[in-house]
Amino acid sequence: MKTTAESHPDQPTAEAANEPHVISPSQLALLVVIMRQGRKWSQEQLAEITGLTVRTIQRVERGEPSSVDTRRALARAFEANDIDCFNKPHKPITAAEVQAAKDKFELEHITLSVQPATGRRLVELAESVSADMFDAAADLPQEAAQVFAALTDYWRDYREAKELFTEVDKLEVRSEFQSRLDELERMKFSLRLAQRVVYIKSAGDPDAKPIRCGVGYIVAFPLGKEPDEIVTARVVQFNF
């Protein structure tokens, strides 16, 4: 006996499945988890960066429906070129495409271990690097932003003129750094430090020997939400 297969009325046809559509809540959940974990962010850190609540992040990652504004906030956090990329119709995303995006991110980024900042460690970091990256993992209130900016300027001034400081002078520098760290902590923020080595090659002279350069990272986090690692681009622009 011959039978014919018919599509279930609630089941999309192959043609419909390949039509562009807005990313479903379950697809968004998968993307958010992959991108968040790839950056070594906790749900709390993603909430701080997006301005959303932790409960909202948890709902998104459980595959529950989310608003247009929530999806835009997530797109901004992940530095998407189009903040409506999660709201616009797209061709279906395959598992291979998700894996390719993950592989591309891992190829273009590296993970660095971090340690808590102290006055002594800030002095040591300044003495061991010749370039730096300062950043804040969450929006700082104006007062905290001013303290962080002042610390940044003071640290860079010391790094550029460290040879002129005696050991006694360095004790005063450590104390100055520590007082600003303490001030930030009273405002519920703390700093984490990381370091890496890069090799710089002149674009104008392809035959020139690469120059070894130490880069210091100083990142502000909400107090109590500091990570053990940070993720940064392999190719970066930084201050000498």
The pLDDT score that the predictor gives to residue 16 is: 46
3-state secondary structure of 190: strand
What's the pLDDT tens digit per position in 50-101?
999 999 999 999 999 999 999 999 999 988 888 998 988 876 667 787 788 7
Query: Cβ of 61: how many Cβ atoms within 10 Å?
Result: 17
Cβ(188)–Cβ(223) below 8 Å? yes
The pLDDT score that the predictor gives to residue 13 is: 46
Cβ(88)–Cβ(82) below 8 Å? yes
- CA separation for the pair 215, 131 (Å, rounded): 5
Q: Exposed, middle or buried, 40 (CB in 10 Å: 0-12/13-18/19+)?
A: middle
What's the pLDDT tens digit per position in 149-173?
999 999 999 999 999 999 999 999 9
Of 149, 153, 145, 23, nearest to 93 (Cα)?
23
- The full set of domains in the chain, from first to last, is 14-93 (1.10.260.40), 112-233 (no CATH)
Query: Cβ of 212: how many Cβ atoms within 10 Å?
Result: 10
